Structure 1
Amino acid sequence: MAKHDLHDLGAIVPKFTWCNNKQGVARIWERLDRCLLNSLALQLVPSASIQHLVRISSDHCPISFYLENSTRDSTKIFRFEDTWKSYAATWNIVAKAWGKNDYGDEADVLNRKIKRSSKSLFFWNKNTCKNLNQLKEDLKINIFNLQKQEDEEGSLGSDNLTLLRSKV
Structure 2
Amino acid sequence: MAVNRHVARVASDHCPVVMQVEFQNFKHPKIMRFKDVWLSYPVAYHVVKKASSKKFVGDPMEVLNKKFRFVLRTLFFWNWSKHNSLLELKDKLKVEVDELQNKEANGSGLSDQSILLLKTKVHELNITFTRLNIWWRQRIKVKWIKEGDINSQFFHSFANGRKNGNSIR
**Bigger proportion of residues as helix:** 2
Fold equivalence (TM over 0.5): no
Q: TM-score, normalised by structure 1?
A: 0.35
Name which one, 1 or 2, has greater alpha-carbon Rg.
2
**Bigger proportion of residues as strand:** 1
